C-alpha cells in the first residue's frame, strides 16, 4: 500500500507548465472576471494569476495551490501539512495578503464542507537561490481538510473524499452536467451551503416523486435543486424554499402545464418534511 501511494505521489509531480487560469477553470471556478483589466491576456491579470487560492461559492469549490515538495505519505494517505500564516511571516506585503486569503478560504471550505481541488506546483531555483513556479498540474482527485489546529494554525489536507463530504450533487456542483452552463437573462447568485443542505435532506431521492437520482461516474447521486418560489419572484435562497428534484420533474416545474399546481404541492411536501425533522427524536 505504501509503495503504491509513493508511486502515486511521484506521479503527481507536474510535467507541464500549464496556465493557472486554465486549471482553475477546469476545477469548476468561473474565470470570466479575469478579462476585466487593461492587459490583452486574461491569464496575466495580476488580481488573480498570483493568488494561492480560488473560490466558487456557486459550486462549493476551493482551488488551492500546493507545492509538490509539501506532499507526504502518512498513515496510508497522501497529505499536505502546512502553516500558511507562518509562511506569511517571511513574505512581502502582497504575499502576506495572499497567504491570509488562503488561510481564510480554507476555513470557509472546512466550515461549509466544500470540495477542495489541488493545483500541484513544482519550483525552479535560480543561481541566486530564489525560486519560482516551474510547472503546474490539476490533481484529478478531490482533497479535504483532515484537521486544523487553532493553536498552531497548522492545516492538514488529505487526498481523496472525506467521510463527511457529501456524496450528492446537483446541476451547480463541479461534477454536475451543467457546470459549464449558458445563462440567459439575469444570473442569480446561489448559496452553496443551502443547496448542500437540501441535497443531504433528500439523500439522493427526488422529494417530489420518490425516485432515486441517477449515479454519476464519480459514484455521486445526482438531483437538481429547485427554488419553489423562484429567485426572480424574490423567493428566499434558503433550504426551506428549495426542493431536490429528478431532472424530469425539474423541467416540468419550470415549463409544464401543471407548474403552478406543482409549486403548491412542493410547498406542502417541504413543510411536512420540516415538521417531521423538528419532531424526530
pLDDT tens over the chain, length 281 residues: 566 777 888 889 999 989 999 999 999 899 999 999 888 899 999 999 999 999 998 778 899 999 999 999 987 889 999 999 998 998 899 999 999 999 999 999 888 778 899 999 998 765 666 668 889 999 988 899 989 999 999 999 999 876 555 578 888 876 555 443 444 445 566 778 888 889 989 988 999 999 888 877 666 789 999 999 999 999 999 999 999 999 999 999 999 999 999 999 999 999 988 876 665 54
The predicted pLDDT at position 23 comes to 95
The predicted pLDDT at position 164 comes to 54
The predicted pLDDT at position 19 comes to 94
- Kindly list the structural domains of the chain, giving each domain's residue range(s) and its CATH number in brackets, ordered by start: 2-159 (no CATH), 168-279 (1.10.30)
The predicted pLDDT at position 183 comes to 43
The predicted pLDDT at position 125 comes to 65
Neighbouring CB atoms inside 10 A of 196's CB total 22
In the numeric block, which cell numbers belong to residue 118?
Answer: 489541488
Neighbouring CB atoms inside 10 A of 206's CB total 20
The predicted pLDDT at position 111 comes to 83
* Secondary structure (DSSP) of 107-132: HHHHHHT-EEEEEEEEEEE-TTS-EE
**Beta carbons within 8 Å of 226's beta carbon, 6+ residues apart:** 242, 243, 244, 245, 250, 253, 266
Threshold 0.75, pTM exceeds: no
The predicted pLDDT at position 156 comes to 94
Amino acid at each position: 500500500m505504501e509503495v503504491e501511494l509513493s508511486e502515486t505521489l511521484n506521479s503527481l509531480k507536474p510535467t507541464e507548465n500549464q496556465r493557472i487560469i486554465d486549471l482553475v477553470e477546469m476545477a469548476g471556478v468561473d474565470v470570466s472576471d479575469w478579462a476585466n483589466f487593461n492587459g490583452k491576456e486574461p491569464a496575466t491579470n495580476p488580481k488573480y494569476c498570483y493568488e494561492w487560492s480560488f473560490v466558487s461559492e456557486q459550486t462549493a469549490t476551493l482551488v488551492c495551490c500546493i507545492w509538490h515538495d509539501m506532499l507526504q505519505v502518512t498513515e496510508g494517505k497522501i497529505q499536505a501539512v502546512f502553516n500558511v500564516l507562518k509562511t506569511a511571516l517571511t513574505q512581502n506585503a502582497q504575499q502576506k495578503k495572499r497567504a491570509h486569503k488562503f488561510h481564510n478560504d480554507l476555513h470557509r471550505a472546512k466550515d461549509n464542507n466544500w470540495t477542495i481541488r489541488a493545483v500541484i506546483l513544482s519550483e525552479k531555483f535560480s543561481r541566486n537561490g530564489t525560486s519560482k513556479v516551474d510547472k503546474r498540474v490539476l490533481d484529478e482527485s478531490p482533497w479535504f481538510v483532515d484537521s486544523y489546529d487553532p493553536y498552531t494554525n497548522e492545516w492538514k489536507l488529505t487526498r481523496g473524499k472525506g467521510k463527511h463530504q457529501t456524496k450528492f450533487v446537483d446541476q451547480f456542483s463541479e461534477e454536475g452536467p451543467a457546470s459549464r452552463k449558458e445563462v440567459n437573462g439575469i444570473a442569480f447568485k446561489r448559496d452553496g451551503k443551502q443547496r448542500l443542505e437540501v441535497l443531504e435532506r433528500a439523500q439522493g431521492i427526488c422529494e417530489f416523486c420518490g425516485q432515486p437520482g441517477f449515479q454519476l461516474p464519480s459514484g455521486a447521486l445526482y438531483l437538481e435543486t429547485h427554488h419553489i418560489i423562484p429567485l426572480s419572484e424574490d423567493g428566499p435562497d434558503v433550504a426551506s424554499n428549495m426542493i431536490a428534484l429528478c431532472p424530469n420533474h425539474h423541467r416540468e416545474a419550470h415549463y409544464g402545464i401543471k407548474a403552478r399546481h406543482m409549486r403548491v404541492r412542493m410547498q406542502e411536501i417541504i413543510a411536512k418534511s420540516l415538521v417531521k425533522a423538528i419532531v424526530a427524536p
